[in-house]
Structure 1
């Protein structure tokens, strides 16, 4: 049996996962220290990134980071700023859905608190910028196993190649293989819900308004895209979601119309529909010696607050700052005491957001009249308190808590 081929080159950082989080971390590190040797491993070919039909809500803080990284100005015209958001709470059969809470869409004057950006625009831009700065890519390929040594990690890939690195970073998603290989346990449970994601066309313009309708099965979010199009994140019980995704177009659009309503005119599905199981998964540790978790590998939360991706961007900004600061001080970037700074910075904020989304989902995903009356009273109260609404906008914009330099739009 052939022995794995071991690379003689030592990388400073190897990132397993070439999604939003992995690519933006590679770019941030190379921009902060061009001499840092960085590699990215991902199972999909990098030339297919523009085929992702989904879209993501990019918070204001994340867009500041991407501006600093030289990305946002190149792609911002392809996105749709969220100018307003409304929240309703009703039963599916209700003819009228009263609005209990409204937000204007600005974090600061002229700066939207979030922008909807097509994944097929953002991902190739991140890849091209990271590659232009010298990031090495091993794709399509994926991590098979790794072994810690005193001064480096040996990462074996599926093709038998072994990479040597001072720091291995797992950005390989909520079902992270590397997290399990590192022996990091998680707090997790299944919501018995799935999120249906698709894109729709509608007859009338949305004027940049996002809508979140709390229905008994879960939140139904309508997020504006450029033109008369919107991205849908539709939460249903898992059995119902599977049935809807498998159904014919007529049945799916009929059920969609019952939830969406007629305020934007005729609806038409404009992309593939997919269902993703929803649950809460929080890593008990974010770091070990020469190993760190970022993005969904560290935390998977309910999409009810739309903060999953932006938590990942916060991880990127914090970890990049910790690594670059350590490099400037001549410290070992893979040492546990260095990585512990990142863990202290991010773990509490992540657990806090996980608890908040869990409580919100349990509070709103039900059909109990007494509970509905109480929560609608609470929503109405918040709507009448400008200071509290401002705090919600600050949280949604990504500016709550200690903010890393990149999220403030400053260089590391």
Structure 2
């Protein structure tokens, strides 16, 4: 896939470069991505192979940084040139509006084979000579632009099931002719007693077991695009593993996460994961998901994000919610139609239109039970404490 990344804190310059590329090359705006700071740019570069990258030399370190770093662009270049960096752009074009600072780092820039173009805020004459370089880089990759290579997928199913959908999804991926290098990792639970799911402390042990395997998988695939797919309790184990781990470099390797039938609470801090690690999260919901009514009502620490979605904004285009008419396993029905039509494009990293809910309003009966589930959920701790008290009274 031919993609271009423009790393520049000037909104005017980002917009003008984008317009110029669209006018002079056979490329769509959806294939041109932008970044305004060092942290976000490195996160994008780790996950996607770009044909061409424009890098401004002077950049802020983070999105909320008040000051620019005079060697911000140089930091990005050094990361790209490091041995462990997973992807290297075909062509890098450097730009700066500050001549003096560019001269100050000239020797260091030359040492890594990088050329800088002077680009004043409203001067775009430099674009004309570099357009040939951009066109050459795009043509060099055109022959392989439709092939999806080197990615690994981690799947995790719900508790006390066999996760047959995992192998079905693997079969769909392998049957896609555009995929030529794919490595699956399916997490299968041992047979846990249901009581481990109901009590938070026991549940943490399950999350710990999953977390160890999950982070081993990330470390074993340092140079691949990583995608995660989870269903039911698997979404709880996966997302809590992410919250518990503070290694930003490790987690930034993950490109996308697909959640389905999630038992997470609607106020789960999914936006924190998205913001800190630049991960795209796709939350697939069923508006008739009955098991989630019970988990929301009776199990402490869980909810029905897989029925209603997460609270809050869409996190700058990184959190997507799609609601289907169906129950807890609607995603795997009709020979995996939803997985094939809606999940495969995400897994392959293809561009897609904004996700739209494809469901009918639930009946008044379902709405009633949903309201009752919400009411009962407010007294979950009372039920738990009552159960523990009764157990102790019976034992002693």
TM-score calculated relative to the size of structure 2: 0.28
Q: Which has the bigger relative contact order, CA under 8 A and spacing at least 6?
A: 1
More strand by share: 1
More helix by share: 2
Structure with larger Rg: 2
